[in-house]
Amino acid sequence: MKAQNLIQDTHTAAAMMHPLRMRILEQLREPNSAAGLSRLLNMPRQQLNYHLRELEKNELIELVEERKKGNCTERIVRATSRSYMVLLNSGGVEADEIGDKFSSSYLLHTAGRMMQDVAAMQSGAHRAKKKLATFTLETEVRFADPSQLQAFTDEMAQTIARLAMKYHQPGNAHARPYQFRLFAHPSKKQDHEKRNES
């Protein structure tokens, strides 16, 4: 089971967003059968089987094992992921159309593209039973005024450019390229207040 699954297809998103199916996915974080789910959700097994087929067709649940019970075969299934994110870009907006690299729209577009890229590579790594090497750095910096923020971003850009020139191997055919995307935004008010309380 993956930790997270990024849904980018409208049919899959529609199949998942049904309230009952969300409850089924919640229950199927642990493997179970249709009979077991029927008892947990207090609903007819025939009705439940329809939703299970739709979830399996859209690769939101998967078969874990089949057990023989008398003349019947009981299918044990589970959710394919512990959590799901839906990211739809049916309009196909390009970053150049947004223009302003300092806007929140540009940040969200770039973050969305990053999630799509990583999700695709994560799926490939999952199928190959390999780990995808990634790096995440999170920190919070408090600036007294906008001029400090500007100075910080200028110095950070220069530092990253220097590091990129130092380690970049454009002529090495065996070198693996990595994308580095830096985002910055104000901390949410609730998070800021919690930190002040602690």
Domain definitions of the chain by residue range: 5-84, 89-167+179-191
Could you give the angle at the alpha carbon of 72 between the alpha carbons of 68 and 73, nearest 5°?
Answer: 50
pLDDT tens by residue, 18-37: 999 999 999 999 999 999 99
pLDDT tens by residue, 117-127: 888 888 888 88
Centre a 10 Å sphere on the Cβ of residue 116 and count the other Cβ atoms it contains.
14
* pLDDT given for residue 9 in this prediction: 84
Compute φ and ψ for 100, nearest 5 degrees: -75, 105
**Contact in structure between 183 and 111 (CB atoms under 8 Å):** yes
Contacts of 38 by beta carbon, 8 Å cutoff, 6+ apart? 44, 45, 48
Determine which helix (DSSP H) or strand (DSSP E) holds 61, and give its type and residue range: strand 61-69
CATH of 5-84, one of 2.60.40.2470, 1.10.260.40, 2.40.50.100, 1.10.10.10: 1.10.10.10
Contacts of 140 by beta carbon, 8 Å cutoff, 6+ apart? 187, 195
The pLDDT of residue 95 is above 70? no
* pLDDT given for residue 89 in this prediction: 65
**Contact in structure between 16 and 54 (CB atoms under 8 Å):** no
Rounded distance between C-alpha atoms, residue 181 and residue 111, angstroms? 8
